[in-house]
Amino acid sequence: MFAWMTSASAVWFVTAPFTVDTFFLLSGLLIVYTSVGKISPNGLFKNIHLFYLHRLLRMFPILATAVFLQASLFNHISDGPEWFVIVDKVERCRTYWWSTLLYVQNYLTQKWCIGHTWYLAVDVQLWVLGKRKSAWVSLTCVTLAVMVVTTTYNYLNEFPPASFVPTRPVEDSIHYSRYYYINTLTRCSPFFVGMLFGYLLNIFKSKPVHMAKWLVALCWFCAFGVFAGIIYSSYATVQMDWDSLFWDGIINSFARPGWAASLGWMIFACTHGYGGPINWFLSLRMWKLPSRLSYAMYIFHYPIIMMINGTSVSASYFSVERFFLRFISDFVSAFVIAFILLPTFFLWKGHKKLKNIAENFSMVTLMCSL
Protein backbone atom coordinates (compact mmCIF):
# COMPACT_ATOMS: atom_id res chain seq x y z
CA MET A 1 0.00 0.00 0.00
CA PHE A 2 2.82 2.40 0.87
CA ALA A 3 4.55 1.70 -2.44
CA TRP A 4 1.31 2.35 -4.32
CA MET A 5 0.60 5.62 -2.45
CA THR A 6 4.00 7.00 -3.49
CA SER A 7 3.51 6.04 -7.16
CA ALA A 8 1.97 7.99 -10.02
CA SER A 9 -0.98 5.59 -10.04
CA ALA A 10 -2.16 7.00 -6.69
CA VAL A 11 -2.16 10.64 -7.70
CA TRP A 12 -5.99 10.73 -7.71
CA PHE A 13 -5.89 9.53 -4.10
CA VAL A 14 -3.20 11.80 -2.64
CA THR A 15 -4.80 14.83 -4.35
CA ALA A 16 -8.16 14.14 -2.68
CA PRO A 17 -7.67 16.59 0.26
CA PHE A 18 -7.78 19.50 -2.18
CA THR A 19 -11.34 18.60 -3.13
CA VAL A 20 -12.46 19.68 0.36
CA ASP A 21 -11.80 23.25 -0.79
CA THR A 22 -14.55 22.72 -3.36
CA PHE A 23 -17.04 22.78 -0.49
CA PHE A 24 -15.58 25.98 0.96
CA LEU A 25 -15.86 27.59 -2.49
CA LEU A 26 -19.50 26.51 -2.82
CA SER A 27 -20.36 27.68 0.70
CA GLY A 28 -18.97 31.16 0.07
CA LEU A 29 -20.50 31.37 -3.40
CA LEU A 30 -24.00 30.27 -2.44
CA ILE A 31 -24.28 32.32 0.74
CA VAL A 32 -23.60 35.49 -1.28
CA TYR A 33 -25.46 34.53 -4.44
CA THR A 34 -28.67 33.72 -2.55
CA SER A 35 -28.53 36.68 -0.16
CA VAL A 36 -27.35 39.74 -2.11
CA GLY A 37 -30.20 42.15 -2.74
CA LYS A 38 -32.53 40.41 -0.28
CA ILE A 39 -31.01 41.78 2.92
CA SER A 40 -29.83 45.36 3.41
CA PRO A 41 -26.76 46.00 5.61
CA ASN A 42 -28.99 47.53 8.31
CA GLY A 43 -31.48 44.71 8.05
CA LEU A 44 -28.69 42.15 8.28
CA PHE A 45 -27.27 43.84 11.37
CA LYS A 46 -30.65 43.82 13.08
CA ASN A 47 -31.46 40.24 12.13
CA ILE A 48 -28.02 38.67 12.22
CA HIS A 49 -29.14 36.32 15.00
CA LEU A 50 -31.98 35.03 12.83
CA PHE A 51 -29.64 34.67 9.87
CA TYR A 52 -27.25 32.50 11.88
CA LEU A 53 -30.07 30.59 13.58
CA HIS A 54 -31.64 29.69 10.24
CA ARG A 55 -28.34 28.45 8.86
CA LEU A 56 -27.44 26.53 12.01
CA LEU A 57 -30.81 24.83 12.33
CA ARG A 58 -30.65 23.61 8.74
CA MET A 59 -27.51 21.65 9.62
CA PHE A 60 -28.42 20.79 13.20
CA PRO A 61 -30.93 17.89 12.92
CA ILE A 62 -28.67 15.53 10.97
CA LEU A 63 -25.56 16.52 12.92
CA ALA A 64 -27.32 16.07 16.28
CA THR A 65 -28.65 12.70 15.13
CA ALA A 66 -25.13 11.56 14.27
CA VAL A 67 -23.83 12.71 17.67
CA PHE A 68 -26.68 10.92 19.46
CA LEU A 69 -26.16 7.68 17.52
CA GLN A 70 -22.39 7.79 17.91
CA ALA A 71 -22.76 8.19 21.68
CA SER A 72 -25.27 5.36 22.03
CA LEU A 73 -26.50 2.97 19.34
CA PHE A 74 -23.35 2.61 17.21
CA ASN A 75 -21.47 1.00 20.11
CA HIS A 76 -23.99 -1.88 20.24
CA ILE A 77 -24.20 -2.70 16.54
CA SER A 78 -21.28 -5.12 16.39
CA ASP A 79 -17.92 -6.04 17.91
CA GLY A 80 -14.45 -7.07 16.82
CA PRO A 81 -10.71 -6.91 17.52
CA GLU A 82 -10.58 -3.27 16.42
CA TRP A 83 -13.80 -2.23 18.13
CA PHE A 84 -11.85 -0.19 20.70
CA VAL A 85 -11.75 2.58 18.07
CA ILE A 86 -15.54 2.83 18.21
CA VAL A 87 -15.51 2.68 22.01
CA ASP A 88 -13.08 5.62 22.07
CA LYS A 89 -15.37 7.63 19.79
CA VAL A 90 -18.36 6.80 22.00
CA GLU A 91 -16.53 8.16 25.04
CA ARG A 92 -15.52 11.26 23.12
CA CYS A 93 -19.11 11.92 22.07
CA ARG A 94 -20.43 11.46 25.58
CA THR A 95 -17.89 13.97 26.90
CA TYR A 96 -17.40 16.47 24.07
CA TRP A 97 -20.75 16.35 22.25
CA TRP A 98 -21.31 20.05 22.97
CA SER A 99 -18.21 21.18 21.07
CA THR A 100 -19.57 19.57 17.90
CA LEU A 101 -23.07 21.00 18.25
CA LEU A 102 -21.61 24.47 18.94
CA TYR A 103 -19.29 24.21 15.91
CA VAL A 104 -16.09 24.97 17.85
CA GLN A 105 -14.48 21.53 17.81
CA ASN A 106 -11.66 22.58 15.49
CA TYR A 107 -10.24 24.96 18.11
CA LEU A 108 -11.59 24.04 21.51
CA THR A 109 -10.38 20.47 21.83
CA GLN A 110 -8.70 17.63 20.00
CA LYS A 111 -11.14 15.18 21.59
CA TRP A 112 -13.58 15.30 18.72
CA CYS A 113 -16.91 13.56 18.84
CA ILE A 114 -17.20 13.21 15.05
CA GLY A 115 -13.82 14.12 13.68
CA HIS A 116 -14.60 15.01 10.10
CA THR A 117 -17.12 17.69 11.16
CA TRP A 118 -14.20 20.11 11.66
CA TYR A 119 -15.27 21.37 8.24
CA LEU A 120 -18.64 22.51 9.57
CA ALA A 121 -16.90 24.47 12.33
CA VAL A 122 -14.73 26.31 9.81
CA ASP A 123 -17.72 26.89 7.54
CA VAL A 124 -19.80 28.38 10.37
CA GLN A 125 -16.95 30.63 11.51
CA LEU A 126 -16.65 32.17 8.04
CA TRP A 127 -20.19 33.48 7.46
CA VAL A 128 -20.12 37.18 6.56
CA LEU A 129 -22.27 39.40 4.35
CA GLY A 130 -22.60 42.99 3.20
CA LYS A 131 -23.75 45.45 0.51
CA ARG A 132 -22.85 44.38 -3.01
CA LYS A 133 -20.65 47.25 -4.24
CA SER A 134 -18.81 47.84 -1.00
CA ALA A 135 -18.56 44.11 -0.37
CA TRP A 136 -16.92 43.56 -3.76
CA VAL A 137 -14.11 45.94 -2.84
CA SER A 138 -13.87 44.83 0.79
CA LEU A 139 -13.91 41.14 -0.09
CA THR A 140 -11.11 41.64 -2.59
CA CYS A 141 -9.06 43.45 0.04
CA VAL A 142 -9.90 40.88 2.70
CA THR A 143 -8.97 38.02 0.37
CA LEU A 144 -5.60 39.63 -0.39
CA ALA A 145 -5.02 40.35 3.30
CA VAL A 146 -5.90 36.76 4.20
CA MET A 147 -3.43 35.53 1.59
CA VAL A 148 -0.66 37.67 3.07
CA VAL A 149 -1.40 36.61 6.66
CA THR A 150 -1.80 32.95 5.70
CA THR A 151 1.46 32.94 3.75
CA THR A 152 3.30 34.49 6.69
CA TYR A 153 1.72 32.01 9.10
CA ASN A 154 2.66 29.07 6.86
CA TYR A 155 6.28 30.12 6.53
CA LEU A 156 6.66 30.78 10.25
CA ASN A 157 5.31 27.32 11.10
CA GLU A 158 7.23 25.56 8.30
CA PHE A 159 4.33 23.25 7.49
CA PRO A 160 4.94 20.29 5.15
CA PRO A 161 2.99 20.56 1.86
CA ALA A 162 0.64 17.69 2.80
CA SER A 163 -0.33 15.45 5.68
CA PHE A 164 1.31 12.44 3.99
CA VAL A 165 4.97 13.09 3.13
CA PRO A 166 7.11 9.93 3.38
CA THR A 167 10.34 11.86 3.94
CA ARG A 168 8.98 13.83 6.89
CA PRO A 169 8.62 12.56 10.48
CA VAL A 170 5.19 11.69 11.85
CA GLU A 171 5.33 14.72 14.17
CA ASP A 172 5.25 17.00 11.11
CA SER A 173 2.05 15.36 9.89
CA ILE A 174 0.40 15.79 13.30
CA HIS A 175 1.51 19.42 13.43
CA TYR A 176 0.17 19.97 9.89
CA SER A 177 -3.21 18.40 10.64
CA ARG A 178 -3.72 20.25 13.90
CA TYR A 179 -2.53 23.76 13.04
CA TYR A 180 -3.02 23.92 9.26
CA TYR A 181 -5.59 21.47 7.95
CA ILE A 182 -8.40 22.29 10.41
CA ASN A 183 -7.43 25.94 11.02
CA THR A 184 -9.98 28.53 9.92
CA LEU A 185 -7.24 30.99 8.92
CA THR A 186 -5.44 28.60 6.61
CA ARG A 187 -8.65 27.25 5.05
CA CYS A 188 -10.63 30.46 4.58
CA SER A 189 -9.17 31.70 1.29
CA PRO A 190 -11.31 29.37 -0.93
CA PHE A 191 -14.37 30.59 0.98
CA PHE A 192 -13.60 34.23 0.15
CA VAL A 193 -12.82 33.30 -3.45
CA GLY A 194 -16.26 31.68 -3.57
CA MET A 195 -17.85 34.86 -2.19
CA LEU A 196 -16.20 36.89 -4.93
CA PHE A 197 -17.61 34.56 -7.57
CA GLY A 198 -20.98 34.72 -5.79
CA TYR A 199 -21.04 38.49 -6.26
CA LEU A 200 -19.87 38.12 -9.85
CA LEU A 201 -22.64 35.66 -10.64
CA ASN A 202 -25.19 37.90 -8.95
CA ILE A 203 -24.08 40.94 -10.95
CA PHE A 204 -24.53 39.05 -14.24
CA LYS A 205 -27.56 37.12 -13.06
CA SER A 206 -29.91 38.67 -15.61
CA LYS A 207 -27.33 39.93 -18.07
CA PRO A 208 -25.88 38.03 -21.04
CA VAL A 209 -22.12 37.63 -20.92
CA HIS A 210 -20.34 37.91 -24.27
CA MET A 211 -16.77 36.68 -24.31
CA ALA A 212 -14.42 36.24 -27.24
CA LYS A 213 -13.64 32.63 -28.10
CA TRP A 214 -9.94 33.15 -27.51
CA LEU A 215 -10.64 34.53 -24.03
CA VAL A 216 -12.90 31.60 -23.13
CA ALA A 217 -10.26 29.16 -24.39
CA LEU A 218 -7.58 30.99 -22.41
CA CYS A 219 -9.62 30.84 -19.20
CA TRP A 220 -10.27 27.13 -19.61
CA PHE A 221 -6.61 26.54 -20.39
CA CYS A 222 -5.56 28.42 -17.24
CA ALA A 223 -8.11 26.54 -15.12
CA PHE A 224 -6.97 23.13 -16.31
CA GLY A 225 -3.36 24.26 -16.01
CA VAL A 226 -3.93 25.11 -12.34
CA PHE A 227 -5.64 21.76 -11.76
CA ALA A 228 -2.72 19.94 -13.41
CA GLY A 229 -0.16 21.89 -11.37
CA ILE A 230 -1.93 21.10 -8.09
CA ILE A 231 -2.25 17.43 -8.99
CA TYR A 232 1.43 17.26 -9.92
CA SER A 233 2.42 19.01 -6.69
CA SER A 234 0.55 16.31 -4.75
CA TYR A 235 2.48 13.63 -6.60
CA ALA A 236 5.77 15.46 -6.17
CA THR A 237 5.40 15.80 -2.41
CA VAL A 238 5.22 12.02 -1.94
CA GLN A 239 7.62 11.06 -4.72
CA MET A 240 10.46 13.54 -4.43
CA ASP A 241 12.80 13.99 -1.52
CA TRP A 242 12.46 17.75 -1.40
CA ASP A 243 12.70 19.87 1.69
CA SER A 244 12.13 23.38 0.40
CA LEU A 245 10.49 25.85 2.73
CA PHE A 246 9.77 28.12 -0.22
CA TRP A 247 7.86 25.55 -2.28
CA ASP A 248 6.10 24.17 0.77
CA GLY A 249 4.83 27.67 1.52
CA ILE A 250 3.75 28.23 -2.08
CA ILE A 251 1.68 25.03 -2.10
CA ASN A 252 0.11 25.66 1.31
CA SER A 253 -0.70 29.31 0.60
CA PHE A 254 -1.76 29.38 -3.06
CA ALA A 255 -2.80 25.90 -4.18
CA ARG A 256 -6.15 25.96 -2.36
CA PRO A 257 -7.33 29.41 -3.50
CA GLY A 258 -6.03 28.50 -6.96
CA TRP A 259 -8.17 25.36 -6.93
CA ALA A 260 -11.17 27.43 -5.83
CA ALA A 261 -10.62 30.10 -8.50
CA SER A 262 -10.41 27.48 -11.25
CA LEU A 263 -13.65 25.87 -10.07
CA GLY A 264 -15.23 29.32 -9.78
CA TRP A 265 -14.46 29.93 -13.46
CA MET A 266 -15.96 26.54 -14.29
CA ILE A 267 -19.21 27.49 -12.52
CA PHE A 268 -19.29 30.93 -14.15
CA ALA A 269 -18.63 29.45 -17.61
CA CYS A 270 -21.32 26.78 -17.23
CA THR A 271 -23.83 29.37 -15.98
CA HIS A 272 -23.36 31.60 -19.03
CA GLY A 273 -23.17 29.01 -21.79
CA TYR A 274 -19.44 28.42 -22.02
CA GLY A 275 -19.35 25.05 -20.25
CA GLY A 276 -19.97 22.74 -23.21
CA PRO A 277 -19.95 19.02 -22.31
CA ILE A 278 -18.93 19.80 -18.71
CA ASN A 279 -22.14 21.78 -18.19
CA TRP A 280 -24.17 19.01 -19.84
CA PHE A 281 -22.67 16.37 -17.53
CA LEU A 282 -23.11 18.41 -14.35
CA SER A 283 -26.72 19.25 -15.29
CA LEU A 284 -27.91 15.65 -15.67
CA ARG A 285 -31.02 14.82 -13.66
CA MET A 286 -29.30 11.85 -12.03
CA TRP A 287 -27.38 14.22 -9.74
CA LYS A 288 -30.51 15.66 -8.08
CA LEU A 289 -31.09 12.98 -5.47
CA PRO A 290 -27.40 12.48 -4.55
CA SER A 291 -26.97 16.24 -4.24
CA ARG A 292 -29.82 16.49 -1.74
CA LEU A 293 -28.48 13.54 0.22
CA SER A 294 -24.86 14.68 0.12
CA TYR A 295 -24.87 16.47 3.49
CA ALA A 296 -26.29 13.46 5.35
CA MET A 297 -23.90 11.17 3.47
CA TYR A 298 -21.00 13.39 4.53
CA ILE A 299 -22.08 13.25 8.19
CA PHE A 300 -22.60 9.47 8.36
CA HIS A 301 -20.03 8.03 5.97
CA TYR A 302 -17.12 8.15 8.41
CA PRO A 303 -18.89 6.41 11.35
CA ILE A 304 -20.04 3.73 8.90
CA ILE A 305 -16.49 3.12 7.67
CA MET A 306 -15.16 2.99 11.24
CA MET A 307 -17.79 0.42 12.28
CA ILE A 308 -17.03 -1.78 9.28
CA ASN A 309 -13.30 -1.56 10.03
CA GLY A 310 -13.95 -2.39 13.67
CA THR A 311 -15.63 -5.70 12.78
CA SER A 312 -12.67 -7.02 10.75
CA VAL A 313 -11.32 -10.26 12.22
CA SER A 314 -8.33 -10.72 9.92
CA ALA A 315 -5.81 -8.66 8.00
CA SER A 316 -6.63 -7.81 4.40
CA TYR A 317 -4.24 -7.76 1.47
CA PHE A 318 -4.08 -4.48 -0.37
CA SER A 319 -5.01 -4.09 -4.01
CA VAL A 320 -6.53 -1.13 -5.81
CA GLU A 321 -9.39 -3.25 -7.16
CA ARG A 322 -10.22 -4.68 -3.74
CA PHE A 323 -10.38 -1.32 -2.06
CA PHE A 324 -12.26 0.30 -4.92
CA LEU A 325 -14.97 -2.31 -4.41
CA ARG A 326 -14.83 -1.50 -0.71
CA PHE A 327 -15.34 2.17 -1.58
CA ILE A 328 -18.43 1.32 -3.63
CA SER A 329 -19.81 -0.65 -0.67
CA ASP A 330 -19.18 2.23 1.75
CA PHE A 331 -20.72 4.72 -0.68
CA VAL A 332 -23.89 2.70 -1.16
CA SER A 333 -24.20 2.16 2.61
CA ALA A 334 -23.87 5.90 3.27
CA PHE A 335 -26.39 6.64 0.51
CA VAL A 336 -29.01 4.24 1.92
CA ILE A 337 -28.60 5.40 5.52
CA ALA A 338 -28.74 9.05 4.46
CA PHE A 339 -31.94 8.36 2.53
CA ILE A 340 -33.52 6.71 5.57
CA LEU A 341 -32.43 9.27 8.17
CA LEU A 342 -32.75 12.48 6.18
CA PRO A 343 -36.16 14.10 6.80
CA THR A 344 -38.34 13.79 3.74
CA PHE A 345 -38.95 17.53 3.92
CA PHE A 346 -35.51 18.18 2.49
CA LEU A 347 -36.33 16.05 -0.55
CA TRP A 348 -39.84 17.28 -1.32
CA LYS A 349 -40.26 20.82 -0.03
CA GLY A 350 -43.67 22.39 0.24
CA HIS A 351 -45.71 19.38 1.36
CA LYS A 352 -47.36 20.36 4.67
CA LYS A 353 -47.61 16.85 6.08
CA LEU A 354 -44.00 16.09 5.29
CA LYS A 355 -42.99 19.46 6.69
CA ASN A 356 -44.67 18.61 10.00
CA ILE A 357 -42.84 15.28 10.06
CA ALA A 358 -39.54 17.08 9.54
CA GLU A 359 -40.30 19.60 12.30
CA ASN A 360 -41.24 16.82 14.73
CA PHE A 361 -38.10 14.93 13.74
CA SER A 362 -35.98 18.00 14.49
CA MET A 363 -37.56 18.47 17.91
CA VAL A 364 -37.06 14.81 18.86
CA THR A 365 -33.46 14.97 17.68
CA LEU A 366 -32.83 18.12 19.71
CA MET A 367 -34.28 16.56 22.87
CA CYS A 368 -32.30 13.34 22.41
CA SER A 369 -29.02 15.16 21.75
CA LEU A 370 -29.44 17.37 24.82
Residue 23 has pLDDT above 60, yes or no: yes
Same domain, 12 and 81: no
Beta-carbon-side half-sphere exposure of residue 203 (alpha carbons within 13 Å): 13
User: What separation, in Å, do the N-terminal and C-terminal C-alpha atoms of the chain show?
Assistant: 42
155 and 98 co-located in one domain: no
Burial class (CB within 10 angstroms; exposed 0-12, middle 13-18, buried 19+) of 309: middle
Please indicate, yes or no, whether residues 142 and 272 belong to a single structural domain of this protein: yes
The answer to which of 150-159, 210-219, 276-285, 356-365 has the lowest mean pLDDT is 356-365
pLDDT for 364 beyond 80: no
Contact between 104 and 118 (Cβ < 8 Å): no
pLDDT of residue 97: 87
Q: Does residue 151 fall inside a structural domain?
A: yes
Tell which of 276, 305, 336 closes a domain.
276
The least confident of 18-32, 77-91, 98-112, 353-367 is 353-367
- Residue 72 and residue 14 share a domain: no
Contact 238, 14 (CB under 8 A): yes
Q: Are 57 and 171 within one domain? A: no
- Classify residue 260: in a domain, yes or no: yes
Q: In this model, does residue 360 exceed pLDDT 70? A: no
Share of the chain above pLDDT 90, in %: 20
Domains in the chain, number: 2
Task: Decide if 133 is inside a domain.
Answer: no
Task: Tell whether 31 and 156 lie within a shared domain.
Answer: yes
pLDDT value, residue 127: 60
Task: Report pLDDT for 44.
Answer: 59
Residue 250, pLDDT above cutoff 50: yes
Query: Between 12 and 332, where is the model more confident?
Result: 332
Kindly report, residue by residue over 25-64, the tens digit of the pLDDT: 998 888 888 776 665 555 556 666 666 677 777 788 888 8
Instruction: Say how many CA atoms lie within 13 Å of 125 toward its Cβ.
Output: 20
- Given a cut of 80, whether residue 303 has pLDDT beyond it is yes
In the prediction, which pLDDT does 33 show?
Answer: 83
Distance CA 141, CA 147 (A): 10
Predicted confidence at residue 40, as pLDDT, reads 58
Examine the pLDDT at 262 and tell me if it is beyond 60: yes
Question: Does one domain contain both 349 and 337?
Answer: yes
Lowest mean pLDDT among 36-40, 158-162, 236-240: 36-40
In a domain, 303, yes or no: yes
User: Could you tell me if 203 and 78 lie in one domain?
Assistant: no
Q: What is the mean pLDDT of the chain?
A: 81
pLDDT, tens only, 312-323:
888 888 888 998
Is residue 258 one of the residues assigned to a domain?
Answer: yes
pLDDT at res. 219 = 94
pLDDT on residue 311: 87
Q: Name the least confident of 11-20, 302-311, 356-365.
A: 356-365
User: At residue 3, does pLDDT exceed 50?
Assistant: yes
Q: Looking at the structure, tell me whether residues 186 and 270 fall in a common domain.
A: yes
**pLDDT > 50? residue 362:** no
**Where among 241, 257, 276 does a domain terminate?**
276
For residue 121, give its domain range: 40-128+283-370
| Residue 259 confidence class, pLDDT cut points 50, 70, 90 | very high
- Whether 158 is in a domain gets the answer yes
Q: How many of the other CB atoms lie within 10 Å of CB of 212?
A: 8
Cβ neighbors of 213 (< 8 A, separation 6 or more) are none
The mean-pLDDT minimum among 18-22, 111-115, 143-147, 360-364 falls in: 360-364
Q: Is residue 7 part of a domain?
A: yes
Q: Are residues 164 and 261 in the same domain?
A: yes
For residues 267 and 290, membership in a common domain is answered with: no
Whether the pLDDT of residue 15 is over 90: the answer is no
Task: Choose among 126, 139, 131, 147: nearest CA to 55.
Answer: 126
Residue (of 75, 30, 36) closest to 55 by Cα position: 30
Residues 180 and 159: their CA atoms lie apart, in Å, by: 8
Please indicate, yes or no, whether residues 52 and 119 belong to a single structural domain of this protein.
yes
Q: What's the confidence (pLDDT) of residue 61?
A: 84
DSSP 33-48: HTTTTTS-HHHHHHTH
Domain boundary among 227, 245, 276: 276
Asked whether residue 304 is assigned to any structural domain, the reply reads yes
